[in-house]
Structure 1
Amino acid sequence: MQYLFLQEEHEIFRKALRKFLEKEAYPFYGEWEEAREIPREFWRKMGSQGYLCPDVEEKYGGSGVDWGFSVIINEELEKVGSGLVGIGLHSDIVIPYITSYGTEEQKQRWLPKCVTGEMITAIAMTEPGTGSDLASIEATAKLDGDVYVLNGQKTFITNGIHADLIIVACKTDVNTSPKHKGISLLVVERGTPGFSRGRKLNKVGMHCQDTAELIFEDCLVPKENLLGEEGKGFLYLMEKLQQERLVVAIAAQAAAEKMLESTLSYIKSREAFGKPISKFQNTQFKVAEMATDIEMGRAFLNQLIYEHMQGEDVVTKVSMAKWRLTENARKIATECMQLHGGYGYMEEYEIARRYRDIPVASIYAGTNEIMKTIIAKNMGL
């Protein structure tokens, strides 16, 4: 299918990236899964080749290219494995907060190191008792002279172990009404007094992705690390969650395409009752259904990416894509595992890992139930 937003230079870039990943990622991904961590060296290699934060302006060390290059990076990383999701989060979810709301001094201080991979980022919204209801977060920060005193806990934080720079959503005003108006964003740097990391969380899937708990106990954050204006954090989060959800949808679509591709290869070679299982009508019907869902998902997604890059209002469509494409991927993971038979349940087959990795996509970046709520609300219901 032809992409609406890609030109020849994008495809040249994709080929170079694939060659890089074939050398630096595919051979080692299994080791990373076992180690439960992606080595920082891989981040630095990504940065040295211009594969981190490509849309950051050249004066901050980026390439200043359009977001189509980020789409390609997210697709190709997902084809390697879902555990690389933290790289997309760094480049396309966290960094845009700094480029959009950061001061010139903040951009000069942080962006060049983020582009090279020397500095890894995270964003901390979710708390032990608060997920989709962001307005109810309990982490607080009180200004005391030249520092904010930050207290609270965050959990399920992608890049939580590696992160050198963390955007923390917290309440700087606990008395305001409505309560979301009291939320601000503070940038906490590695080594900040009062900041510590809890457990590296043991997840069902995405094993090489370092997800962690973060703890702030009288954490002293310089007031210069306030991102944007005090009290506007919730507004900033709502603005940037659209691209975050689009990144999740892109990854889900790429995963679905990769699962079908590997399953087609398997069913053509695996024989039962004297013929390849691809010759059985049930197999053909299942494949036809998955191929149709994938093709329709890709068409919708490509149009959506194009509209997003044009600056159009895509809140409703992004919610549709995040919900539908993650559900498609989860369904396809189940069907593909079934077509692999007993081998699909063995760790040496990629489909087993995909089956574990995919379900969480319907939970993070706003649950799919929240996506349906947004769609209904925007339809006037």
Structure 2
Amino acid sequence: MQIPFVDLKSQYDIIKADIDQAIAAVISKTAFIGGTHLKNFEDAFAAFCNVKHCIGVGNGTDALYIALRTLGIGSGDEVITVANSFIATSEAITMIGAKVVFVDIDPKTFNIDTGRIEEKITAKTKAIIPVHLYGQPADMDPILIIAKKYNLKVVEDAAQAHGAVYKGKRIGSIGDMACFSFYPGKNLGAYGDGGAIVTNSDDWALKARMIANHGRIDKYDHEIEGVNSRLDGLQSAILATKLKHLPEWTEARRRNAYCYNKCLADTGLITPFEIDDVTAVYHLYVVRVKEELRKKFQDHLQTKGISTGIHYPIALPNLKAYKYLNHTESDFPEATKASREIVSLPMFPELTESQIRYIAEAIKSFQP
């Protein structure tokens, strides 16, 4: 049996008629940039996130950059984020001229350790970017308390958490602004790059929309210098079509995660942990194995036709890109340890119980 890490082809086959119709509608009207397809998706996604505004942009990285710039963060400022994420999170901070300040992870959730945030705050700190990694909501209540105490902005990085819920609130509706990626492999993925910013603030929504469109609202009336970051008509139509299926896909991911949990219960693997009162959406299903066994473990699964991944093999502060910050691996012991032990197993809505049981049996047959 061959089991891919993600199977976008199976998803497309199921919704092919609707997707093809949506694409044809855009092409027939040559509505490639802006227009009704973009507005329809922005309105639908804002409603889905329980917020007032959605601004479609070119990708998730742009979303973070534009959100931070909208909030007035720039040169000389500091922004706190987590040590285990994709580089886009920290990259956006540097792109606006601010300094990235990393915080170690909670080893159970892989999300930011909220108990270590306050010690990183200085007079220059302006914002916190919690990442809802792997589709597991970060613990937002302590973050909001800290942010209020120090007058900091909170920008949710929800690139892997479309539809997740924290204590009854949809991820994306909790911070000052939130940023999403629609990279094809995401829970809600485009057929190319795409991203969005969501917020309840009228003023911030207007400013973000201006920044994303060369600093203008009207065609040639540029009030500021901005950037060119658009969610195009084709991607908007595709995303609007797929958004209708997202709740059922989320439930399928959750069923698959719990099936994994049950099947792997006696294997010795450390399986994902959910904090209380959340709905995780399992963008990834990440387990931990002993560092010295990880490569052999992955190779074993590969011989059984099972694809795996590592998210992420190097903690952000340990990357060459951040050598200038002069961190050592011991500064972030939990993120460093996790980066050497984590393995992502196949996870997508169309994954079947029989495939999960096959994966579990392959894991049980692993001989260290």
Q: Which TM-score bucket, shorter chain as reference?
A: under 0.3
Greater fraction of residues in helix: 1
TM-score (norm 2): 0.25
Higher relative contact order (CA 8 A, sep 6+): 2
